[in-house]
A and B are shown apart, each in its own frame.
Chain A
Amino acid sequence: MSETLVRTTVNGRPVEARIPNRMLLVEFLRDRLGLTGTKVSCGMQVCGACTVFVDERPVSSCGVLACDIDGADVVTVEGLATDDGLTPVQQAFVDCSALQCGFCTPGFVMMCTALLRKTPNPTEEQVAHHLEGNLCRCTGYEPIVEAVMHAAESMSSAESGTRHD
């Protein structure tokens, strides 16, 4: 198997590894780095469970070769929460019970985080449009939409709070 030397940053940590050329990014993250928060479901880029950030853009890690992330900055669901606690999106998923089995949740959390960075106050239509590529088989989606609206609200009120200080 031909291999490639890859130097990348994963969740802020530099990583250097020789990996088979055909290895998928999700296999590299899960099997080599032990970052199992990223899940594989459909295996063909339609369910969104494997969503991670590559250079701040959400991508399906089941559809990217690991050797192609050389020099990139990768963030997985494990890289979101800080010592201060959950991110507003994560907290909103908890508060709104926007999950059941949780297998799709890391992908949704990543995708919603990306949405709110770009569009801090989305409409419900924008939320649905943005999440069209993430499947959830448990919740019926309504609580997820609610969580995103909730997170947007708490982020914007936190921001205005900061300005106050």
Chain B
Amino acid sequence: MTERRIVGRSVPRTDAVAKVTGAAVYAVDVVMPDMLHAKVVRSDRAHARIRGVAKDAALAVPGVLAVVTGGDLTGLFPRFGHIVADHAILAIDKVRYYGEPVALVIATDPLIARDAVPLVEVDYEELPAVMDVSAALAADAPVLHEDDYSDVPDADTPPGGNMSRTPVKVTSSHPNVAHESQKGWGDVDVAFTDAHRIVETTVHHPMLYAYAMEPYNAVARFVEGTLEVVSTAQHPFMVASDLARVFSLPLSHVRVSVPYVGGGYGSKSYTKVEPLTAVGSWAVGGRPVKLVLDVEEAIYTTRADSADIVVRSAFAADGSILARDFEITLDTGAYADNSPLVLDKAVNRCFGPYRIPNLRVRGKAVYTSTSPASSYRGFGAFQGNLAGETNIDQAAEQLGIDPAEIRRRNLVHRGERLIPGNRAMDADLVDDLDLLVAELDAGSSGEGRLRGTGFGCAATDAGAVPSSTALVKLLSDGSVLVLTGSSELGQGSRTVLAQIAAEELGVGMERVRVLQSDTATTVFERTTGASRTTTLSGLAVQRACRDVIERVCLAARDVWTDAAGPIEVRDGTVHGPGGRSMSLAEAVQGWFGPGGGEILGQGVVRRTGELAELPPFWEIGMVGVSLEIDPDTGVIEVDQLVTVADVGCAINPTLVEGQDLGAATQGLGGTITEHLVYDGIQIANANMVEYRVPRITDRPRRFRSLIVERADGPGPYGAKGVGEGARNPVPGAVAAAVARAVGVWPDTLPLNPERVWRLIQRAKSTGTASPGSHGSDSGPQ
């Protein structure tokens, strides 16, 4: 292996100085000349027909230029949605949840726009709402979507023709079911009759809010027939595609750019406020319009699907899994957004990285009159993993087998296929688990405190569909520009992609600049998500650099007219026959002559060759926790958090650790304190006081990320992704630790003090710690 100069080193983040000085520009900081400001009029009904909207009082406010409603969007395709185009930009005819945008007020000043919002009067005819899944699936339930949304202008475009399309074939047997999904093989029923032991587990996973600290916002304007949008989007190319459909514009005339993003975690995937902002600009003759949501509005824009999951597993006496049977129900809210894919992933990810001879998974994503649910870091995985892993832990307890041992017996080995037709397992899961278990310790218990440890495993189909491009420009002074469509969300892609380019071209980090996420000036990237950037965008950058090198060698051969023999680039210098050499800059200048030029290299990653099989890689999640619980208050303190980062090659180890700790911390929040609570038609805690994310004092006392590098990923230097992995097993690991500490298995998250205290009381009253005892607690939060 050749010595690497920059890859593998924790070089400082290239965005750090801008971010500590306040110089870093986010979408919310962008100002355009002559810019107007928009505020959204939102529904105060959960389900209602719109009889009319009275705008006059609002329009009479000095400074208000326009009030736009769904009825005003004539000539436009008035909806968006990358799987089902069910989402009206502004409500048309009906509202389907409290908080849905009904009108947009545009004014010269944000305060004026805010003043005018309550002056817009909407006349509603109330309809019965369905606030949860059971109400939505009742025989006489009101139908939320009467339309089948088949009027999509590009519906006939072949798959991939419209980039906003995600290959999910939506099926539904009930009008309030957004999507149904099944997976399975073998004969589950026969396997259950042969079982030594059958273990059944029911779990409820709550609705969550990702809380990206920069709420959704965008600025839009029309310039010379081109729609220009600056936004917080993770996937600007998909957003451009949705906008092109709304305005019937060619993609060449839609430009979406994304500066630094104040957190995404999947919640800024796909299209959010961009169409709303763009129709605002359209309504005022193309003047720039800025729309910034507050946190409450952001919560009503996107949340994570809640899930009810029942799993039954059949085991042999030695703990081998004979069969698993899952039933998953997601509360998807009023619009599909990405939930059909969340469901498909939950179906794929619930049963864990185990050898399962007979499997049946049935899932449905259900429309309700609640805020739309969509992606959030590891979607489908963390909901499903809680059910699957709790079930394995309960089986271990009932069978008298160590929880690590029961997993060792069932984990798939390298090369085995977890799911028929998918990529074979590309990791050594048993070795990873052994590392995890060896690092995790029970610690010493404080006086009168309850203690428990728990851990869990996940392998998720990460990377999404491989299509990435990169353009690398070698400039005439030998410095380098890297163009990519991948967004910097905080994960450090700007740094890692620069490291790859610097390594490949043999130049210093200070000579490389990475430009990201502008659909007009950078190059295509399908998505920034699914832990794919280092692996797939990184591979595109590596290929682009190698293309540059090939072209440099050809240029050098032209410059050295008499060079017979091999020419190569080593350590940033061109070496030719006879010991001659020149710098990269000299190659560019020599080839173009006076005035200089640029040598362009392109890198393309497609679903072909090594990447033909999906997923592009399996993302491994192995997390262990050791907890202390105060028996008087039910408060959990996390003593130790251990993660295994099985990343193939850690291009920047500090950034890898940052992903693991960040992901696991979000998992701890989503397991211990966070949940959105509906009270009637509204969310009772749509704010950051009552929706409690982890604070600095909640951090684990000890954290260790064990980085495993086996160079077994498809990315550059054998890298594979990190970002979601350490999120996924956290709920199950914490639930197991709590069960071992208090003696009763929890079945509902979050494990906040009240719920844990009730589990403790239940254990006391049943005389406790009886193995297999099951704590159902759905008392007030």
Once the chains bind, are B662 and A140 in contact (CB under 8 Å)? yes
Nearest-neighbour CB distance to chain A for B56, whole angstroms, equals: 21
Distance in angstroms from A147 CB to nearest chain B CB is 10
| Complex interface: chain A residues within 8 A of B654 (CB) | 97
Task: Report if B661 contacts A (CB, 8 A).
Answer: yes
Q: Evaluate contact between B260 and A102: CB separation under 8 angstroms.
A: yes
Provide the residues of chain B in CB contact with A41, threshold 8 Å: 213-215, 262, 295, 688
CA distance A141 to B223 in the complex (A): 43
Query: Which residue of B18, B21, B262, B655 contacts A97 across the interface (Cβ within 8 Å)?
Result: B655
Find residues 23-48 in chain A having any chain B CB closer than 8 Å to their own CB.
Answer: 23, 30-31, 34-44, 46-47
User: Hey, what's the 0/1 contact readout for A65-100 against B, CB within 8 Å counting as 1?
Assistant: 000000000001110110000100010011101011
Given A86-B20, A103-B26, are A139 and B662 also a contact pair (CB < 8 Å)? yes
A129 → B minimal CB distance (Å):
7
How far, in angstroms, from A132 to B695 measured CA to CA in the complex?
A: 6
Assess whether B517 is interfacial by the CB under 8 Å rule: no
Q: Does B417 contact A (CB under 8 A)?
A: no
Taking a contact as CB atoms under 8 Å apart, the answer to whether B265 and A94 are in contact is no
Residues of chain B within 8 A of A105, CB atoms compared: 19-20
Residues of B near A64 (CB, < 8 A) are none
Asked whether A142 is an interface residue with its Cβ less than 8 Å from the other chain, the reply is yes
B20 touches A99 (CB 8 A): yes
Sorting the interface of chain A by its residue count into under 10, 10 to 19, 20 to 34 or 35 or more gives 35 or more
Q: Is A145 an interface residue (CB 8 A)?
A: yes
Within 693-728 of B, Cβ neighbours of A (below 8 Å) are at 693-697, 699, 703
Say yes or no: B19 contacts A23, CB within 8 Å: no
Residues of A within 8 A of B168 (CB): none
CA distance A38 to B665 in the complex (A): 25
Q: In the complex the two chains form, is B658's CB within 8 Å of A143's CB?
A: yes
Indicate if the CB atoms of A39 and B262 lie closer than 8 Å. Answer: yes
Answer whether residue B152 sits at the interface, using C-beta atoms and an 8 A cutoff. Answer: no
Question: Which residue on A lies nearest to B296, using beta carbons?
Answer: A43
B416 contacts chain A at the CB level, 8 A cutoff:
no
Chain B residues contacting A43 (CB-CB under 8 Å) are 294-295
Q: Let me know if B22 and A77 touch, CB within 8 A.
A: yes
Q: Is the CB of A135 within 8 A of B693?
A: yes
A101 touches B696 (CB 8 A): no
Interface pair A102/B697, CB less than 8 Å apart: no
For A135, list chain B residues within 8 Å (CB). 211, 213, 688, 693, 695
- Contact (Cβ within 8 A) A140 B661: yes
Q: Is A149 an interface residue (CB 8 A)?
A: no
Chain A residue nearest to B489 (CB atoms) is A101
For A95, list chain B residues within 8 Å (CB): 12
Which residues in B have their C-beta under 8 angstroms from that of A138?
Answer: 263, 490, 658, 662
Instruction: State whether A39 touches B21 (Cβ < 8 A).
Output: no
| Bound-state Cα–Cα, A80 to B21, Å | 8
User: Contacting B689 at CB < 8 Å: which of A46, A77, A93, A132?
Assistant: A46
Number of residues in B with C-beta < 8 Å to the partner? 56
Residue B17, interface by CB 8 Å: yes
Q: Is the CB of B13 within 8 A of A97?
A: yes
Cβ of A109 under 8 Å from chain B: yes
Which residue of A76, A100, A104, A142 contacts B699 across the interface (Cβ within 8 Å)? A142
User: Is A10 interfacial (CB 8 A cutoff)?
Assistant: no
Chain A interface, >50% SS class: loop
| A140 touching B664 in the complex, CB below 8 Å, given contacts A99-B13, A99-B19 | yes
Query: DSSP class of B's interface residues: helix, strand, loop or mixed?
Result: loop
Asked if B10 is at the interface of the complex by the 8 Å CB criterion, the answer is yes
Whether a CB of chain B sits under 8 angstroms from the CB of A128 is yes
Say yes or no: B688 contacts A47, CB within 8 Å.
yes
Chain A residues near B211 (CB-CB < 8 A): 135, 137
Contact of B212 with A by CB under 8 A = yes
Q: Is the CB of B696 within 8 A of A94?
A: no
CB of A49 within 8 Å of the partner chain: yes
Q: Is the CB of B19 within 8 A of A102?
A: yes
In the assembled complex, B24 has its CB within 8 A of some CB on chain A: yes
Q: Tell me which residues across on chain B come within 8 A of A44, comparing CB atoms.
A: 687-689
Docked-complex contact B295 and A37, CB < 8 angstroms: no
Bound form: Cα–Cα A140–B707 in Å: 17
For B699, the chain A residues whose CB sits under 8 A away are 128, 140-142, 145
Asked if A94 contacts B12 (CB within 8 A), the reply is: yes
Minimum Cβ distance to chain A for residue B701 (Å): 10
Given A22-B111, A42-B688, A44-B688, verify A100-B213 contact (CB < 8 Å): no
Question: Does A58 lie at the interface of the complex (its beta carbon under 8 Å from any beta carbon of B)?
Answer: no
| Residues of A with C-beta under 8 A to B15 | 102
CA distance A135 to B213 in the complex (A): 9
CA distance A141 to B12 in the complex (A): 18
Q: Tell me the minimal C-beta distance from A116 to chain B in angstroms.
A: 15
Task: Kindly provide the distance from the CB of A145 to the nearest chain B CB, expressed in whole angstroms.
Answer: 7
Nearest CB on B from A150, distance (A): 13
Contacts of A30 in B (CB 8 A): 29
Distance, CA A86 to CA B110, complexed state (A) = 34
Write out the residue numbers on chain A whose beta carbons fall within 8 Å of the beta carbon of B662.
100, 137-140
Name which residue of chain B comes closest to A78, CB basis: B22
A94 touches B16 (CB 8 A): yes
- Which of B208-226 touch A at CB < 8 Å? 210-215
Chain A residues with CB under 8 A of B491? 100
Contact A100 B658 (CB under 8 A): yes
Q: Judge if B666 is at the interface, Cβ distance under 8 Å.
A: yes
Name the A residues within 8 Å of B695 (CB-CB).
132, 135, 141
Residue B505, interface by CB 8 Å:
no
* Interchain CB contact under 8 A, B490 and A100: yes
Find chain B residues with CB under 8 A from A122 CB.
none
Interchain CB contact under 8 A, A103 and B263? yes
B696 touches A37 (CB 8 A): no
CB-defined A-B contacts under 8 Å, sample of 29? A20-B111, A36-B22, A36-B26, A38-B22, A39-B214, A41-B262, A78-B21, A78-B22, A94-B12, A94-B20, A97-B10, A97-B16, A99-B13, A99-B20, A100-B491, A101-B212, A101-B262, A102-B15, A102-B18, A106-B20, A128-B696, A137-B213, A137-B265, A137-B662, A138-B490, A139-B661, A140-B664, A140-B703, A141-B694
Using CB atoms and an 8 Å cutoff, list the residues of chain A in contact with chain B.
Answer: 1, 20, 22-23, 30-31, 34-44, 46-47, 49, 76-78, 80-81, 86, 90, 93-95, 97, 99-106, 109, 127-129, 131-132, 134-145
Query: A20-B111, A99-B490 given. 6 additional CB < 8 A pairs?
Result: A36-B22, A101-B213, A105-B20, A128-B696, A139-B665, A143-B658
- A-B pairs, 8 with minimum CB distance: A37-B22, A101-B490, A103-B262, A102-B19, A100-B490, A140-B661, A140-B665, A77-B22
Which residues of B are interface residues toward A (Cβ below 8 A)?
A: 10, 12-13, 15-26, 28-29, 31, 110-111, 210-215, 260-265, 294-295, 489-492, 654-655, 658, 661-662, 664-666, 687-689, 693-697, 699, 703
